[in-house]
Structures are given as C-alpha cells and as structure tokens.
A = this chain, B = another copy of it.
Amino acid sequence: MPDGAAFGFEVLARDPHGRARTARLATPHGTIPTPAFVFCATKAAIKGVTPTQMRDAGTDIILANTYHLMIRPGAERVARFGGLHRFMGWDGPMLTDSGGFQIFSMGHGGVADEIKGRRRPAGESALLRVGEDGAEFRSYADGAKLFLSPEGAIQVQRQLGADLIVVLDECTPYHVDRDYTAQSMALTHRWGDRCLAEFRRGDDGRQALYGIVQGGVYPDLRREAAAYTADRPFFGTALGGSLGSSTDQMRAVVSDCMPYVHPDRPVHLLGIGGVGDILAGVAQGIDTFDCVSPTRVARHGWAVVKGAPNERINLRNARFRDDPGPIDETCGCHTCAGFARGYLHHLIKAEELLAITLVAIHNVFTMNRLMREIRAAIHAGTLDELAGAWLA
C-alpha cells in the first residue's frame, strides 16, 4: 500500500436535472473518477485481455470473484502470492464480491439469468444448505463440500486483498415471494452485522467494506434494506439481488432504494452492464457498475457500439465480410485503430483466439469511454443528450 493512501469518496458535481453525480473514489491502489465501470476478472483474469491491455483501454478498476477464487486456486494460496494485486499483475483499485451471488444463484438452479428472472434451468443444486451460520455448497472443481460463513467471507476477502470488499448476503432470485424475500433480507442483515464485526476486528486500513441492499422487487423491503446499510458504518453501499428483467424494472428497484441509501457513500449496482441500464442507473445516482458482459459478448463476436441498435453489432454477420472500416469510426481503441470489421469477421469465422482479444479490447475501451462521456455530461448538464447519442 502506498504511503499515506486512504479510502475516501468525494462528490465533485451533481446533475442539475436529477440524481446523477460525479465523484472521486480513493483507494490505497489509486483514486478513480466515478461513475465508473468495474470489469470482471472472474478467476483473477480478464478473459483474453492482459492487465496492460486493460490499462491501455482506459480501465481504472476491476473485480474478482471470491466464490471462484476460494475454489481455485484458494484464497490462502493467493495470500501466499502477496494477494490478488500481485498474483494477477493489476496494481490499480480492485473489488471482490462476497461469494454470495454465485453460491445462491447456483443454489437456485442457475446463474445470473435466474437472478434476472429470465429462465429457470433444471439441474441438481450445488447449494446444499443455508442456515443462520452460513451456506454449504459443492465445489464445481472437485465436488468437495465447502462452507462460507459471514466471518469466513470477510476472512477470505482479506486473504485475497482487494481494496473494496462486500458483506455476505443471501441472493434471492426473481420469482421468490414476499415472505421468503423478507426472511432472506433479515438473514442478510444479521450476516451483514457479523461481517462488519469481523471486518472491524481485522481492519488495518487496507480494505473498505460495502454493505448490501437486498429486498427483491418489493419497495418496502428495499427501503428497509437501504436504511439498514445507511445506519451502519459501511464505506459503500451495493445494490444486489433481483433487479427485475428489464431496464424499467431495474429502474423501479433502484428508485426504491436510492432515497434511503447513505447519501455520502459510493453506491455500486451489482451485475449491470448494458449501456441503457448504466445510463438509467447513473441518472438515479449510481456511482459504479460491474458486469461480465463486455468481455462475454466479445467471445460471441458482439462489439458494443455507440448509437448502434440494441447497443451492439455482431461481427459474425456476413454483412461485415468485406467491410474495410473499423468497428466504430468514432472509437479510439487499439482494435479500431488497426483492424477492419472484415478482418475481425474473418478471425471469428476462423475461430481465431485473437478475435476474442481484439473485440474485448474494443468493448472495454467503449465501456470506459461511455463512463468518461457520462462524467463529462454530468458536469455539463447534458446527460439526456448523451443518452440519446448512445442509444439508437
């Protein structure tokens, strides 16, 4: 940790027309401007992109998943390598989640899709038991039984050593009724208090803890959860769980929370990465976002493009076969500077690994550009015009 570094959150400007704001979020590994997008290095690697390429594409902050890393290579092993920053060669700000999202999304039969209300896949549950003490689940690597308590989630994240860490929560899917959601939220709050106690026991100033707001799609529960986090000395607030299955539903859930979260703390919206969703979230005061989508869609040939219908184009499409232009004429990324759509189309058809890397670099750059333009628009009071330019 650099000398004199500390955590902080300073609001710089507010949108005169709404809740959007720009701020500086300080961590021991650097200070980043917000609103910001946090890229997912799920298993301690951005898929197909080196840390240097991430930096060159304008990236300020990334995250890694506690759930994946505690299974492989193991948090103790990461600690022996000096923590995640050294292990993966990323010296900037970093966040880890608590592991709860993956444990419970598996437990409810699916992954993110289920949380988002899109489908309910079959298959044996990997979540074995949830109790007051924590959650028992199976390792996807070797089938071994694993257990995560609230205290354990903090200890594991301490071993991983990210700057920003998150309390353990039970993450309920979209279809759960109000009673279950209320009980689950109460459990999450009891876990949150235990996480906070464990965090303070070991606090050495190198990490800062986010509380988490659950409550499903029920406005009164969201309000109660937001107030719970505001009443406790968390550094930041994360909005988690089911955010519905559309931008409108997400907007409704976020608007249920935002009047009640602590106004002076950074607010992170978990698992949201669409351009329209981000613009809607920023307008409601969200400071940071994360999602696997920029690199995941790249693996399927999708490039995020400012102003494109549905926010992106699919380079696998035959109409790009002879296209000599870059993905986006207005983009300044490494990929757009040197490679034509037609070449990228060829790489995708030929199943060349380089396609994934080059499209991912473009998508990362584009998300960072979106956030940069959002920050400038908040200062200028032109967020609505910016949204119009990005969304076709």
Contacts and interface: CB of A to CB of B under 8 A. Distances in A.
B81 A49 contact: no
Contact of A73 (B338, B346, B356, B358): B346
Given A44-B343, A346-B44, A49 B354 contact: yes
A51 B46 CA distance: 20
A77 B350 CA distance: 15
B340 A81 contact: yes
Nearest to A56: B52
Contacts of A343: 44, 81, 87-89
Interface in A34-69: 43-52, 68
A105 interface: no
A52 B335 CA distance: 11
Nearest to A356: B353
B346 A48 contact: no
Central interface residue in A43, A45, A340, A356, by most chain B CB within 10 Å: A45
A74 to B, nearest CB: 9
A251 interface: no
A87 B343 CA distance: 6
A48 B342 contact: no
Nearest to A49: B354
Interface string A347-365: 1011011111110000000
A350 B43 contact: yes
A47 B354 contact: yes
A321 interface: yes
Contacts of A52: 334
Stoichiometry, copies per complex: 2
Contact of A350 (B49, B72, B356): B72
Contacts of A49: 354
Given A81-B324, A353-B353, A339 B72 contact: no
A342 B72 CA distance: 12
A80 interface: yes
A339 B51 CA distance: 11
A357 to B, nearest CB: 7
A10 interface: no
A124 interface: no
Contacts of A72: 346, 349-350
A138 B314 CA distance: 29
Contacts of A324: 80-81
Interface string A74-113: 0001001100000111000000000000000000000000
Nearest to A44: B346
A45 B352 contact: yes
A338 B50 CA distance: 11
Contact of A89 (B81, B338, B357): B338
Given A45-B347, A87-B342, 15 more contacts: A43-B346, A43-B350, A44-B343, A44-B347, A45-B355, A46-B354, A47-B354, A51-B338, A72-B346, A72-B350, A77-B342, A81-B342, A81-B343, A87-B340, A89-B339
Interface of A: 43-52, 68, 72-73, 77, 80-81, 87-89, 321-322, 324, 334, 338-340, 342-343, 345-347, 349-350, 352-358
9 contacts: A46-B354, A48-B48, A48-B354, A50-B358, A72-B349, A77-B322, A81-B340, A89-B339, A353-B356
